[in-house]
Structure 1
Amino acid sequence: MPVPVLFVRGWPLLALAALFTVAPQAQAQRVSARDKVKIEALDQRMAAAEKRYADAQVLVANADPKGRNESDAALEDMEDVVSDCVAQKGCQVSNLLTTYKRLLKSNADAGNEEEQEIAGSGPALLEADPDHIGPLAADVPEAARAAALLNDKRHAFDNMVEYNPAVQAGIRRWLTDMRPALLTSYENYQNLRSVMWPEWEKRGLPEALLFGIMAKESNGRVHASSRAGAAGLMQFMPATGRRFGLGPDGTGFDTRFDARSAAEASATYLNERMRELNNSVELSLAGYNGGEGRSLRVYRQNPGQGFWVDSVYNQFPAETKDYVPMVIAAAWIYLHPQQYGVEFPKISAQPATLRLAKSTTIYELTICLGSAGTRDGYMRVLRNLNPRYEADGWIPAGTLINATTRIAGLYNRYCVSGPRADLARTLITADLNAAIVRPNAASYTGNVAVGSVVPVAGVEAAAAATAPTAPVAVAAKPKPKPVRSVKVGKGDTLGRISDKYSCDLRELARANGLKAPAYALRQGQSLKLQGCGK
């Protein structure tokens, strides 16, 4: 999320802060009573601008179109105040920057998706650089922050990996045919960032690496699963997941699909690999994808050699050789979007909870919420934030679900009552069978023209006397198809079995007591082929 950067006469305010801390300020100046009155007026103007900005953020969070204009106007007020302070004898710019610090922290915490850049001031120093705008970064003194922002070596991750032609080829793929997947991954991650990033931050791992792994593994889809049995955002295999506390929780839910749990487990797992592999990001990623045992064995056989040395590189499978540079490439773009002409989506993702006023489904919420502020609507956000609920499963009234402040505002406006709420309920309860007309055969009158019927004397009576009595046909009841069974083989999934035997996936799952979305199977398990055609 871009941080608002204010400019005064071409200088970013944060850079000015750094300069003012280096150069001694004119505190020894004698300030006249008239100057003191002017300085006090500037302080009052800054306080008013801050309040105006805070009020605007409430409008933005509630999807009110006036919010953007008001926040822009408030920032312009601040720019004017700081400009006047620079020209005013005895005015301490650093004092006014305290107000700006509060604004910066509020903006980072609120997840405001609007880019607060003063028109005509040139590009901001930061654009989509989350390593330096996280929740904890707001506590860094502004002068130190300004110095950090002006330092080209601010990305620690850049020095942790090798930027070579393999990574460049990965960047090329992300920026061409895989660009939509990259942007989708970014949007999904931003909506999950508040629950995922803290788990990596507290374990000292770079956020860009978290994004890179998630983008390559799942594109930020919480319910992603593979034929091999990997599941969730970070694609944990069942056995590996169990080692780090992931798996069925007793309620039918697999915690590999929970974003916070997956982030915590993946950070712990990666740190474990890093300790074993001399803090090599590449070898640790190779272990994440190709197996920790293989990675450790190759490392021990080639002490001091990195992943890109041929004797090391050639011992990994093709999938791992592709995986490592693709993860690093996604992380690199995440840190350097402007360098590659990437404009990440602006996401309003301030977390919030929402208590449902009436029973609903995620599908129904997706319809009534609309798509204001997003390209694809809010179904993926709701599913990612509430992985325990199926998209078409009814959620009782009074349930507290995870959302964002924008979703909460749209819900209260459009989903509780009113035309859009009614329309969403109509669409979600529409029954396809109700569209099929089945006329009553007894009352049906055809429209076939047979011409004029002229009765012939004696014919009707003779026909009635000689016609044989036809037996009344009784329709036989169809015999129910016998329920067969099949044993689960190695690598089988419920979807694969459903396709093979032409089954209705949900009916097959219900008949065997399997819970969505994991549909966990074990090799050798016997399944009833309920609802299957073959």
Structure 2
Amino acid sequence: MPASPRVPVALLALGLVVFSRDADALSKKDQAAVEALNQRMQAAESRYRRGVVMIGNADPAGRAEVDAALQDMEDTMAACAKQKGCSPTTLLAAYKRLLKQNADAASGEELPEDEAAADAAALAADVPEAARAAALLDADGRRFVEMVKYNPAVQAGIRRWLTDMRPALMDSYENYQYMRQLMWPQFQRAGLPEALLFGILAKESNGRVHSTSRAGAAGPLQFMYATGKRFGLGDDGTGFDTRYDPRRAAEAAAEYLNERLGQLNRSIELSLAAYNGGEGRALRVYNGSGGRDFWDESVYTQFPAETRDYVPMVIAAAWLFLHPKEYGLRFPKVDARPAPLRLSRPSSIYELTICMGNGDTRDGYMRALRNLNPRYQADAWLPAGTVLNATAKMVGLYGRWCEKGPRADLAHTLVTSDPTRAIVRTGPVTPVAPDAGIAAAPPADADTAGEAAAAAVPRPARPASYTVQRGETLPAIAQKFQCDTGGLARANGLKAPRFAIRAGQKLKLEGCEG
């Protein structure tokens, strides 16, 4: 069955290019160029419609036709941004306005009104690539470019992101797309550029929500405990540290940066220096220099080497986020439409990762599931009925592969396997003296006797406690004894999300099957 064209069909709205109404002020040459772009967009729309029909007729060439049409639309919008009299910002507004109206009608599916609105809102949260080009050329993107300096230090950062750090940049972008609907609105409400959010995320954690530094910084945006507490982050009363929550962390980061921008003459570079090197130091350096900017030698040299590297690397990642095509950079396309995933059987994120498979991704869904559900460790045992944050794609894969069937059973077997059971006990062994020569053959019934001896050993009763071994985690112990991880943590006074335990520690096995 061909893939559903739901998301691309919503892009039919893009065929309605809105050009500047001030046409009378344009030269004939500019008017002709605007008209040519209009015709080009209309041709791309027609090509897109043909592709949708082909997909509906199960023609395998339809998807390629649709993708080519979307590329035409994106190229047209990029050209529109450079053409006097053509407004990509207005185009994007038209796209967003029409997306809600056309998303479900164009797909040919009948949905209740409230469900259709929710689906369209989800699509709008994950702006498709063809519209994203226009989004990043609007006033928000231009404002960021005007606020920073594109100098040799930033260029060196771009070089690093495009060479040895390219995999980290790609991972950061993919991780961000899954969390975008949680994080971007917090910066948007604060009037901060999205590119700045991405740059900080890429440099701080590569978009890994559970990242923790040796210095104690935690979460996707790496808040220190004391700083996070000032901006509303920390233990939420359940033992969970909200520094690991992408929405809460983005909200706190936006508030923090606006506070710094207010103190430091709206300088993004100095605000980033404060984010990395300490706000007290940044303010002292700024005031002591008489208000000079970060790149002034008298200011720059007063920050540690880590901060001098950090600032241009964040700006470089943000710059690539805004201008990927100029550098031959093609970010991965991510279907991140949010959807709840209700477990029909006990499971863990490890188990879901195995049974879902790769889908349309390179690395599968473990990182996305962990980022969207920061309260749970990957091997935490989750009871049936647990609702996880996921995407529509993940929900579909779960229903197909994880609820029942051979792959679901195989995934469960793999995550509950106990390596210690690979050791076979056959009874006591009699040591042989080094000079005893070749041992005599054992009695014919020795194996039978050994099995009988092993069978005679009574199965130990379920233990009331367990001593932690080196390298073990609480979720792994919970799976070994078929416990609920949360219940085991509460019984032993352990706090989420890390559930820190140490070798030699005794744990009460309350509510476990043994």
Q: TM-score normalised by the shorter chain: which range applies?
A: 0.5 to 0.7
Identity %: 55
Which SS does the other structure have where 1:342 is aligned? coil
- Work out whether residues 340 and 390 of structure 2, in 8 Å CA contact, stay in contact via their aligned partners in 1: yes
Of residues 41, 59, 69 in structure 1, which corresponds to 2:63?
A: 69
Equivalent runs, 1:37-186 vs 2, <5 Å: 69=63, 72=66, 102-103=98-99, 106=103, 109-110=122-123, 131=136, 155-186=142-173
Aligned equivalent of 1:390: 377
Q: 1:300 to 1:442 in 2, by over 3 A?
A: closer
Provide the TM-score with structure 2 as the length reference: 0.67
The Cα offsets for residues 433-481 of structure 1, whole Å up to 9 and x where unpaired, read as: 23222223499xxxx6749x9xxxxxxxxxxxxxxxxxxxxxxxxxxxx
Distance (whole Å) between structure 1 residues aligned to residue 194 and residue 326 of structure 2: 19
Identify which range, 313-322 or 296-305, moves more after superposition.
Answer: 296-305
Question: In 1, are the aligned partners of 2:11 and 2:95 still within 8 Å (CA)?
Answer: no
Matched, 1:214 2:198: no
Q: 1:360 to 1:168 in 2, by over 3 A?
A: same
Q: Deviations over 1:321-358 (max 9, x none)?
A: 01100000000000000111111011000111111111
Q: List alignment gaps of at least 5 residues for structure 1.
A: 25-41, 57-63, 80-96, 117-123, 133-147, 454-497, 522-526
Bigger radius of gyration, 1 or 2?
1
2:254, 2:96 → 1: CA distance?
Answer: 34
Assess if the C-alpha contact under 8 Å between 1:131 and 1:206 holds in 2: no
Q: TM-score, normalised by structure 1?
A: 0.65
1:130 Cα deviation after fit: 5.1
Deviation at 1:514, TM superposition (A): 3.7
Q: Residues 297 and 14 from structure 1, CA distance in 2 versus in 1: closer, same or farther, beyond 3 angstroms?
A: farther
Distance in 2 (alpha carbons) for counterparts of 1:257 and 1:14: 42
Between 1 and 2, higher relative CO (CA 8 Å, sep ≥ 6) is seen in 1
Pair 1:432-2:419 in alignment: yes
Deviation at 1:188, TM superposition (A): 0.3
Check conservation: 1:50, 1:103, Cα contact below 8 A: no
Partner of 1:300: 287
- Asked if the contact 2:11/2:99 (under 8 Å) is kept, the reply is no
1:252–1:314 distance in 2 versus 1, CA, 3 Å: same
* 1:530 and 2:511 aligned: no
Corresponding letter in the other structure for 1:155: R
What's the counterpart of residue 106 of structure 2?
none
CA distance in 2, matches of 1:74, 1:528: 57
Partner of 2:19: 18
2:390 is paired with a residue of what secondary structure?
strand
Deviations 1:236-276 (A, max 9, x none): 01100111110011211100000000000000000000001
Q: 1:285 aligns with which of 249, 254, 272?
A: 272
Contact 1:112 / 1:348 at 8 angstroms: preserved in 2?
Answer: no
**Contact in 2 for aligned 1:187/1:347 (Cα 8 Å):** yes
1:195 aligns to what?
182
The residue matched to 1:354 in structure 2 has which SS? strand
Q: In the aligned structure 2, how far is the partner of 1:311 from the partner of 1:347?
A: 44
Q: Aligned pair in 2 of structure 1 residues 20, 410: CA closer, same or farther (>3 Å)?
A: farther
SS at match of 2:384: coil
- Paired amino acid for 2:98: R
Check conservation: 1:112, 1:347, Cα contact below 8 A.
no
Separation in 2 of the partners of 1:504 and 1:6?
A: 50
- 2:311 is aligned to 324
| SS at 2:320 equivalent | helix
**CA displacement at 1:20 relative to structure 2:** 7.9
Instruction: Write the letter of the residue equivalent to 1:338.
Output: K
Q: Give SS of 2:182's match.
A: helix
In 2: Cα distance, 1:180 partner to 1:515 partner: 33
Is contact 2:198-2:318 (8 Å) kept? yes
Alpha-carbon offset, residue 518 of structure 1: 4.0
2:239 equivalent to 1:252: yes
Out of 307, 323, 335, the residue aligned to residue 348 of structure 1 is 335
Query: C-alpha distance in 2, partners of 1:321/1:4?
Result: 46
The structure in which a higher percent of residues are helix is 2
2:90 is aligned to: none
Compute the displacement of 1:75 (Å): 6.7
**What do residues 295-340 of structure 1 show as CA deviations (whole Å, max 9, x unaligned)?**
1111111223110001111111111101100000000000000111
Does the Cα contact within 8 Å between 2:172 and 2:207 map onto a contact in 1?
yes
Assess, with a 3 A threshold, how the Cα gap between structure 1 residues 114 and 234 changes in structure 2: closer, same or farther.
closer
| Residues 278 and 420 (structure 1), Cα distance of their counterparts in 2 relative to 1, 3 Å cut | same
Query: In the aligned structure 2, how far is the partner of 1:166 from the partner of 1:296?
Result: 22
Which residue identity does 2:243 align to in structure 1?
Answer: R
Distance in 2, Cα, partners of 1:299 & 1:520:
41
Q: Which amino acid in the other structure matches residue 191 of structure 1?
A: Y
Measured against aligned partners, the alpha-carbon deviations of 1:12-65 in whole angstroms (never above 9, x if no partner) come to: 9455x31788479xxxxxxxxxxxxxxxxx9xx99x969968x98xxxxxxx99
Task: List alignment gaps of at least 5 residues for structure 2.
Answer: 1-6, 26-41, 74-92, 104-119, 431-437, 444-467, 478-487, 507-514
Task: Indicate if the aligned counterparts of 1:188 and 1:381 stay in contact, CA closer than 8 A.
Answer: yes
Equivalent pairs counted in the alignment come to 400
Tell whether the 8 Å contact from 1:212 to 1:329 is kept in structure 2 after alignment. Answer: yes
Aligned with 1:515 (options 492, 495, 500) = 495
Over 3 Å counting, the alpha-carbon distance change for 1:244 and 1:3 in structure 2 is: farther
Q: What is the aligned-residue RMSD (CA, Å)?
A: 4.5
The separation in 2 between residues aligned to 1:111 and 1:6, in whole angstroms, is 11
Q: Does residue 412 in structure 1 map to residue 392 in structure 2?
A: no
Q: Is the 8 A contact 1:355 1:401 kept in 2?
A: yes
CA–CA distance in structure 2, aligned partners of residues 420 and 249 of structure 1 = 37
Amino acid across the alignment from 1:438 = R
Q: Which residue identity does 1:333 align to in structure 2?
A: L
> Are 1:128 and 1:337, in contact at CA under 8 Å, matched by a contact in 2?
no
